[in-house]
Structure 1
């Protein structure tokens, strides 16, 4: 299992990005969470097998239809034992 921290920049707030990320992660069997950041970015911590996580990261580069993703930074991280994929409050 691998865990990744994603920081997504662009027009990614108020376009349904978090709900889209939850649906996409659950479809792929990826666990973790997503939240908006005060600076306009979206942060995701995601964990899953390498294939599912790679697919999830690639889909995050596209996002939902209304989003305009300009940049996705990924960083390996520790996530711990998280069940499911949830939407968190803005940090």
Structure 2
């Protein structure tokens, strides 16, 4: 199991991007959170096995038809052992 902090920049706010991320997370069965940042970027915390995370990332980069990802930075962070779901944080 791995956990990553992902910061996404581009046209990712006001275009349904967090809900798109939530759907991908459910589809790939990862856990974590997604939230907008005040600087216009989106923060994603994602946890799962390497295959799940790679699948999540590949689908994320495709976008939802309204969003545009200009940059995605990824940093490994400590696991959250008891996390069971993926949710939108406010």
Q: Which band: TM-score by shorter chain?
A: over 0.9
Mapping for residues 1-80 of structure 1, pairs under 5 Å = 1-80=1-80
1:84 match: 85
Q: Displacement, 1:61?
A: 2.0
TM-score w.r.t. structure 1 length? 0.93
The Cα offsets for residues 44-88 of structure 1, whole Å up to 9 and x where unpaired, read as 000011101011112222221100110000000124121110001
In 2, are the aligned partners of 1:32 and 1:79 still within 8 Å (CA)?
Answer: no
Tell me which stretches of 4 or more aligned residues in structure 1 moved more than 4 Å.
Answer: none
In 2, are the aligned partners of 1:7 and 1:42 still within 8 Å (CA)?
Answer: yes
TM-score w.r.t. structure 2 length? 0.94
CA RMSD of aligned residues (A): 0.9
Stretches of structure 2 lacking an aligned partner (at least 5 in a row):
none
Aligned length: 89
Stretches of structure 1 lacking an aligned partner (at least 5 in a row):
none
Q: Displacement, 1:35?
A: 0.1
